[in-house]
Structure formats: C-alpha cells, structure tokens
Structure 1
C-alpha cells in the first residue's frame, strides 16, 4: 500500500484591512478572531510537507520489503523497524496538527457572542452561516484525524507482524486488507474536510463583503488536500 497525499492549505491570508463600515467595532472584533484563527493554524500547515515526506519514505521501505524473500529476513526486520519509526514520527506530526486545529477552534468560537451584537440582519445571517460552516469543518477534521490515526495503528501492526518469522501469509493478507479499507475511510473523511474548508472560505469572503470590510487576499483560491492512493499489494 502506498498513500500519496498533500495536506490542506486552507487559509485565505489577509494582507491588510483597507476599511470597515457599518458597525465597524463589532465586525472588526469578529474579523480579528477570524484572522487569529487562521494564524493559529500555521502549525497545522507546517506539518504538511514533513508528513508527506515521511509517507513517501514509508512507501519506499514497504516496496523494498516486498521485494525480499525469507532468506533476507534480517533485512526485512530492519526495514520494518525503520517503517515503524516513520509511523511514530507521522503520529507526532499529526498530534501537532491537531493541537493547532484545537487552538484555532478555541479562538474562532470567541466570535459567537459577537454575532448577536451585529445590527444588520444580512450581515448577522451571513456571520451565523459562516460560523456554522467552520464548526462543521472542525468536526470534519476530528473525523479525519481519527481515521488517519487508525490507519497509522494498523500500519504499525503490519510492520510488527513482518518482524515475526513465523507469520502466515493469510494473516498478512487479511491485515493489509484492513489497512486498505482504513485508508478508504481516510480518503472519504478527507474529501468531506475539503468540502467544509471550501464552503467556509467562500462564506468568510461573503461575510467580509456583506460587512463591507475590504480586505486584500494573499491567495484567492485555497488549495484543498489532494490524496491519491495505491493499495498495498500482498
């Protein structure tokens, strides 16, 4: 099994606020929380390339293992241990990623009480819609995180099995099937997270427009997480 993926660059980075009108005080406070939430996800984004690099390394190790026969069992054990170490490093990166998302959420929810203070109904309705979309995004990330961690657990179990000389082929085949199923769950959870991210980004822009908060974006198009997957072959 190999899994190639890039992580999400979800944020719409704002270079500068040019002006704010119509109840600027409350709306600017909401703006501050929104952009601070983006800033707090910086650590989330920083984990992306290292995770991808570790995934590629694990794929290379697995490819080497399946090319070896039992006459090279010592080499299989060594490569399997290296693979386990990459999985542990990925788990650490995923932990930092989750901490970043949780910090972002803690900041984001601070805007909830401010929404009721908005006087313009159109602006308030858009703010509520945006808030709900982001909360769905956080929930989608939790599901994605759990699915990914489950896959890491199953992969680690596989490489532990490969270090046992008496492991049966049928046992390995069944476990590889479980890993492939788990990564299908990851892909589905990832797709939902991407959808939530795209929806939130669009609503955030609409809120700024409705509130007449003029901003200049560093990048108008957020890049979703893109995954491709080749199953593990027994």
Structure 2
C-alpha cells in the first residue's frame, strides 16, 4: 500500500514597527490595523508545530499498522483507534487555526474605508494600499480553500482508520480509500502553495506601501515556514 501525506509549510505575515509620531493619518491608522491583524494570526502560527507533531505521530502509527499481518488484527485495531484519536486532535488544531485567521481578517477589513482617505499627495501609497487589500483578500480566499481541502483530508483519514478496525475489510476498498486520500492531499498541496504565494506577495506589498507612504518602519523577521512532508 502507498499512503502519502503532506504537512503544511506555511509562511507567516511580516511584522513591522512604526517609529513614534504625533497625530494619526489614514496611513498610520491603516498601519495599526495591519499590524494588529498580524498579531491576531499568532494563534494560527502557534498551531503549526503541534500539527506537525501530531501528523508525525499519526504517520508512525500508520506505518506500524501496514507492517502488521491480519493475524495481528487486535494490534491493528488498537493502533487504528490511537491514530483516529490523533486525527481528532488535528481537527481541533485546525479549528483553532481558522479562528485566528478569521479574527485577523475581521481586523484587516477595517482598512478598506481608510484607503480613500489617504492623502492625495501620496497617490502611489493609495494604489499600493489597494493592491495590498486585494492581495490579502486573495490570501484569505486561498486559506479558505486550504482549510476546506485539509478538513476533507481529515475526514478521509478518519474513515480510513474506521475501516482498518473492520476485520472483514477488503483490500480493494482499502486501496480506493487510500487513493482518495492521496488525491485529496494533492489538492491540499496546491492550496498550500497558493496561500504561501499570496503571503509572500502581501509581505512585499506591505513593505512597498509603508515606503510609498513615507512611514518610518522597521522590519522584524517573523516567519514560521517549515517544510513538513511525509
């Protein structure tokens, strides 16, 4: 049997610190919302390593299962139950991740009415802000697709471990399920790449916006990118 999983490699939003200034322009209010949105994604970033750990544990259990013959069915059943419990924990982490992303989006959306208030003498900054807004919307759409695909994969994983607890399971049915899982994780892979692409574009556009707005900001490296392949 072949069974491949992908653990997500996700890029984090860049963090900027604005030098102290008096009063607040529309640009500076936008800055406040943008950086608060980054902070609200802390929960999203915090789920990445635990998800990797859980998938590694689950993968080890799966490998143990496929190495066993049917005369060890009781062991297969026990390991499958353990793996199923890990899938449930992954589901919990995924939902915490989504809550964080949704909260960040709600904060980010507050910049929309402020874009029209950007000073006319900084038209380039206004255009950059529009590009920034569109790219972040694309990023959130990409995340929704990623979340949906990953959630579907978790459902298929759960079904697999339920099937493995059935002593009368047919090899044909098992192979079909594994094919479904592999096919769906291909979708996850593509959704993950798209999300990372928009994250990279957004981080660059944010730098460009701050620069065109004449804002004195310092950049802090805040990347939680990791390659997590099974």
TM range (shorter): over 0.9
1:74 aligns with 2:74: yes
SS of residue matched to 2:5: strand
SS of residue matched to 1:164: coil
Residues 24 and 112 (structure 1), Cα distance of their counterparts in 2 relative to 1, 3 Å cut? same
Measure, in 1, the Cα distance between the counterparts of 2:224 and 2:168.
46
1:161 aligns with 2:172: no
Aligned to 1:128: 130
Aligned to 1:232: none
Measure, in 1, the Cα distance between the counterparts of 2:31 and 2:45.
21
Shift of residue 212, structure 1, vs aligned partner: 1.0
Q: Is the 8 A contact 1:7 1:224 kept in 2?
A: yes
Aligned to 1:86: 86
Q: Is the 8 A contact 2:125 2:213 kept in 1?
A: yes
Shift of residue 3, structure 1, vs aligned partner: 2.7
Measure, in 1, the Cα distance between the counterparts of 2:176 and 2:21.
59
Q: What's the TM-score once normalised by structure 1's chain length?
A: 0.92
Measure, in 2, the Cα distance between the counterparts of 1:8 and 1:169.
35
Q: What's the TM-score once normalised by structure 2's chain length?
A: 0.93
Aligned to 1:47: 47
Measure, in 2, the Cα distance between the counterparts of 1:20 and 1:3.
49
Measure, in 1, the Cα distance between the counterparts of 2:127 and 2:21.
18
Q: Is the 8 A contact 1:42 1:100 kept in 2?
A: yes
Measure, in 2, the Cα distance between the counterparts of 1:73 and 1:149.
29
Aligned to 1:218: 220
1:103 aligns with 2:91: no
Aligned to 2:181: 179
Mapping for residues 186-201 of structure 1, pairs under 5 Å? 186-201=188-203
Q: How many residues align?
A: 226
Measure, in 1, the Cα distance between the counterparts of 2:129 and 2:71.
64
Q: In structure 2, list runs of 5 or more residues that go unmatched.
A: none
SS of residue matched to 1:83: helix
Measure, in 2, the Cα distance between the counterparts of 1:148 and 1:58.
15
Measure, in 2, the Cα distance between the counterparts of 1:56 and 1:76.
18
Aligned to 1:112: 112
Aligned to 1:146: 148
Q: Is the 8 A contact 1:12 1:219 kept in 2?
A: yes
Aligned to 2:18: 17
